[in-house]
Amino acid sequence: MKRKLSLLLCLLMVLASFAACAKNDESDVIKIGVFEPLTGENGGGGLQELDGIKYANKMYPEVLGKKIELVIVDNKSDKGEATTAVTRLIEKDKVAAIIGSYGSGVSIAAGDIIKNAKIPTMGASCTNPMVTQGNEYYFRACFLDPFQGRVMANYALQQGAKTAAVIMQNGDDYSIGLGNFFIDAFKELTGDPNSIIDISEFQVNDTDFNAILTN
């Protein structure tokens, strides 16, 4: 339910961001692009967000007397596909606004295209600060990784942890960003620069973590 409420808030904020422009639109339909990973590594999360967006659209199918039409694209959890998908929404489908994406990496990859096209975009769960940094057309309805990292560090300390090891996914903006914010917060809160005893990375398709855990 929290996820659905978050997506509902996201949709309402997107609608508000282009309502003034929509008044001058002569068509009876306003197209909102849905930019999500429906397949690939983050397909599960993307499908959950899509369900929330569809639910919000069911509750609020119109704005300013115009029907809201969702135009859904799959960025396939891939940065290259992300640029192709968001370009299609803007150039072919002519959307007025965009919602997405689950996964900070694909959101960052699409950022410059969104910025140059001046299409208001609202992320529901892309928490890396770089998604919106320097981009006045990209917004978010969620908290940031610096906040998440500090909450995690606080929790670890409250549970009695004096040291920590961090495992991050190589090349993943979300994993590396959140891991580093946790590292900084944990060192600060413990007051010990050596409290992080190990930092390891794994590849996206790795299934054997014995070496990392043994270390």
Check whether residue 121 and residue 193 sit in a common domain: no
Residues in contact with 124: Cβ distance below 8 Å, sequence separation at least 6, in sequence order: 6, 7, 10, 49, 52, 53, 99, 100, 102, 140, 141, 142
Q: Tokens 């610096």 identify what position?
A: 146
Q: Indicate the residue among 91, 119, 140 that finishes a domain.
A: 140
Average pLDDT over residues 187-198: 97
Q: How many domains does the chain have?
A: 2
For 132-178, write each residue's pLDDT tens digit. Answer: 999 999 999 999 999 999 999 999 999 999 999 999 999 899 999 99
Whether 174 and 122 share a structural domain = no
**Which residues does 206 contact at the CB level (< 8 Å), separation at least 6?**
none
* Beta carbons within 8 Å of 101's beta carbon, 6+ residues apart: 35, 36, 37, 46, 75, 82, 107, 110, 123, 126
Query: Which residues lie across from 73 on neighbouring strands?
Result: 35
Beta bridge partners, 164, equal 196
Mean pLDDT of 84-88: 97
CA neighbor of 144 nearest in space, from 123, 129, 122: 129
**pLDDT digits 0-9 by tens, 21-78:** 544 456 899 999 999 999 999 999 999 999 999 999 999 999 989 999 999 999 999 9
Give the range of the structural domain holding residue 107, as residue numbers without chain letter. 2-140
Angle (CA) 20 7 44, round 5°: 135
- What pLDDT is recorded for position 1? 55
Same domain, residue pair 173 and 117? no
Residue at which a domain ends, from 74, 109, 140: 140
Point out the domain boundary residue: 140, 164, 190.
140
Angle between helical axes of 173-190 and 104-117 (0-180°, round to 10): 110
The CATH number given to whatever domain includes residue 122 is 3.40.50.2300
User: Which residues, other chains included, contact 183 with Cβ-Cβ below 8 Å and sequence gap of 6+?
Assistant: 149, 166, 196, 199
120 and 22 inside one domain: yes
- Does 103 score more than 80 pLDDT? yes
